[in-house]
Amino acid sequence: MISAISLFGCAHYPLSMLFLVTDTVKLEFIEPDLAVAQMKMLQQTFNIYSGLKEQGKLRFAYAFADSPGGIMVLDMASNEELQQTLFLLPSMPLVNRTVRPLTEMKSVENLITELESIVSSMPRKPGGKESD
């Protein structure tokens, strides 16, 4: 049996998947009534963020200083949970969103060690000089 620690290298978040979500607000001229409705949708989204933070699903969220939008890191149990969470956010129609899966740096370090082992065991080019 494989443990969550060996898969993800993190005992605090067993079987979790981390995702970097970047939202940029779509900017276009709209009527004042529609703008007020959109602001309410964004406020509802911020309220949901608070709930996600309490559940440990939202690791952090930051707004961009130079333009409307921001980033957050979500800690989800599955791709399906991620999809459901993002689709149910009231801000969905108001933003352009990108999602990037994240891994722990330790995973990258382990991968590099494995790759070094594979490359060092590859056959040398015939007739080539070896530098030792």
Q: What is the pLDDT at residue 9? A: 41
Question: Residue type for 18, please?
Answer: L
Instruction: HSE, CB side, 13 Å, CA atoms: give it for residue 10.
Output: 14
Maximum distance among all alpha carbons in the chain? 77
**Comparing 1-10, 48-57, 60-69, which segment has the lowest mean pLDDT?**
1-10
- Domain definitions of the chain by residue range: 15-102
* Chain-centre distance for alpha carbon 94: 19
* Band (131; pLDDT cuts 50, 70, 90): low
Look up the CATH architecture of domain 15-102.
2-Layer Sandwich (3.30)
The answer to whether residues 18 and 66 touch, using CB atoms and an 8 Å cutoff, is no
User: CA-CA distances (angstroms) from residue 37 to 42, 85, 91, 94?
Assistant: 9, 21, 11, 11
Q: What is the pLDDT at residue 127? A: 65
List pLDDT tens digits, range 81-120: 999 999 999 999 989 999 999 988 887 788 888 888 888 8
List pLDDT tens digits, range 2-43: 333 333 344 444 568 999 999 998 888 888 888 899 889 999
How much is the pTM? 0.70
